[in-house]
């Protein structure tokens, strides 16, 4: 019998708490729904659309859709996975994501999600953005060409660190990460390697200048098991680079 506070996800019952989104309820029940911009510590942003699911026949983002009793959710079905692959392909061509040469390979949520949904090519022509690389900070580096616009660093810096160091500027494919300082340079801010914002990037934009290969590639979180088996467990929780 279906619980009064439960919905069906791909034919399995998922119970939820009041206020849960479809995504938070699914992850709390160890049911993986692909997602990028959502984070358990912050309000959902709803920008990446990778968490798209079919809700009673309509496509909705799981991170911003409130769980309701009796909903029928389909996530791991081919039409939804096709759309996820297209969204991920667009993210890939809008940035520079050369995984084999990226310091975050094996602990990048974008790379791990691509593997899980079976994206095997770019499909679209790469746009080859050239956004400014910022090496002005003594301990941290910003590679803006990898930004997926999730705003997690913006939220972490303002809501946790209380520093308001980051924002997003521009529109569409010209959107890029802005440093709120006179010359848009991280070295002009009081950001430190201990800030939450320094650890929250799900891709490889905010990097430490030292210690990135302390854990060798091939032995990292998503090298060892697919992100679908880890759910809410994120690389930032287990793989913090040593403070320089
Ligand atoms: Fe839901 Fe990005 S995780 S829109």
Q: Is residue 236 part of a domain?
A: no
Q: Is residue 129 part of a domain?
A: yes
CATH number of residue 163's parent domain: 3.30.70.20
Q: Does 112 share its domain with 12?
A: no
Residue 131: alpha-carbon gap to chain centroid: 20
Q: Which two tokens stand for residue 137?
A: 């900070």
Q: Is residue 66 part of a domain?
A: yes
Q: What is the pLDDT of residues 187-230, one digit of tens each?
A: 999 999 999 999 999 999 999 999 888 888 889 999 999 999 88
Atom of ligand 1 nearest to the CA of 50: 2
Give the pLDDT score at 230.
Answer: 82
Q: Is residue 87 part of a domain?
A: no
Cα of 166 from ligand 1 centre, angstroms? 20
Q: If 0-12 CB within 10 Å is exposed, 13-18 middle and 19+ buried, where does residue 196 land? A: middle
Over 50: is that where the pLDDT of 241 sits?
no
Residue whose CB lies within 8 A of the most ligand 1 atoms, among 25, 43, 61, for a mutation test:
61
> Of residues 25 and 237, which shows the higher confidence score?
25
Over 60: is that where the pLDDT of 130 sits?
yes
Cα of 172 from ligand 1 centre, angstroms? 17
Give the pLDDT score at 242.
Answer: 41
Residue whose CB lies within 8 A of the most ligand 1 atoms, among 20, 43, 48, for a mutation test:
48
Cα of 38 from ligand 1 centre, angstroms? 5
Cα of 36 from ligand 1 centre, angstroms? 6
Give the pLDDT score at 209.
Answer: 95
Q: Residue 154: in which H helix or E strand, if any?
A: helix 152-155
Which DSSP letter does residue 82 get?
A: H
What is the average pLDDT across 118-145?
93
Atom of ligand 1 nearest to the CA of 51: 1
Give the pLDDT score at 210.
Answer: 92
What is the average pLDDT across 37-57?
93
Percent of all residues in the chain with a pLDDT value above 90, rounded to a whole number:
76
Long-range contact pairs involving 121-127 (C-beta distance under 8 Å, separation at least 24): 121/89, 122/89, 122/92, 122/93, 123/86, 123/89, 124/89, 124/90, 124/93, 125/93, 126/92, 126/93, 127/93, 127/94, 127/173
Residue whose CB lies within 8 A of the most ligand 1 atoms, among 51, 55, 91, 113, for a mutation test:
51
Q: Does 53 share its domain with 111?
A: no
pLDDT band (50, 70, 90) for residue 119: very high
Q: Does 135 share its domain with 34?
A: no
Residues at CB less than 6 angstroms from ligand 1: 35-38, 46-51, 61, 63
Atom of ligand 1 nearest to the CA of 36: 3
CATH number of residue 37's parent domain: 3.10.20.740
Number of domains in the chain: 2
SS3 85: helix
Over 70: is that where the pLDDT of 113 sits?
yes
Q: Does 175 share its domain with 103?
A: yes
Atom of ligand 1 nearest to the CA of 63: 1
Q: Does 68 share its domain with 140?
A: no
* Residue 22 structural domain: 7-76
Dist CA 210 CA 15 (whole Å): 43
Over 60: is that where the pLDDT of 132 sits?
yes
Q: Which two tokens stand for residue 146?
A: 């990898």
Q: Is residue 128 part of a domain?
A: yes
Give the pLDDT score at 233.
Answer: 61
């Amino acid at each position: 019998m279906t619980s009064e506070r439960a919905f069906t996800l791909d034919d399995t019952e998922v119970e939820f708490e009041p206020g849960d989104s479809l995504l938070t309820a699914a992850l709390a029940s160890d049911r993986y729904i692909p997602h990028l911009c959502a984070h358990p510590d912050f309000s959902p942003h709803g920008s990446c659309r990778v968490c798209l699911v079919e809700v009673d026949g309509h496509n909705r983002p799981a991170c911003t859709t409130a769980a309701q009793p009796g909903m029928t959710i389909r996530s791991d079905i081919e039409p939804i996975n096709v759309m996820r692959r297209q969204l991920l392909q667009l993210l890939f061509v809008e940035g520079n994501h050369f995984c084999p040469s990226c310091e975050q390979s094996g602990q990048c949520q974008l790379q791990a999600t691509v593997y899980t949904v079976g994206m095997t090519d770019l499909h679209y022509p790469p746009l080859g953005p050239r956004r400014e690389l910022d090496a002005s900070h003594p301990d941290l580096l910003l590679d803006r060409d990898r930004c997926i616009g999730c705003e997690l660093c913006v939220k972490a810096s303002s809501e946790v660190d209380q520093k308001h160091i980051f924002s997003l500027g521009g529109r569409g494919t010209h959107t890029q990460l802005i440093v709120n300082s006179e010359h848009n340079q991280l070295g002009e801010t009081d950001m430190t390697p201990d800030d939450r914002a320094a650890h929250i990037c799900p891709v490889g934009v905010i990097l430490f200048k030292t210690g990135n290969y302390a854990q060798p590639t091939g032995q990292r979180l998503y090298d060892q098991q697919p992100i679908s088996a880890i759910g809410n467990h994120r690389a930032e929780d287990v793989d913090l680079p040593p403070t320089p």
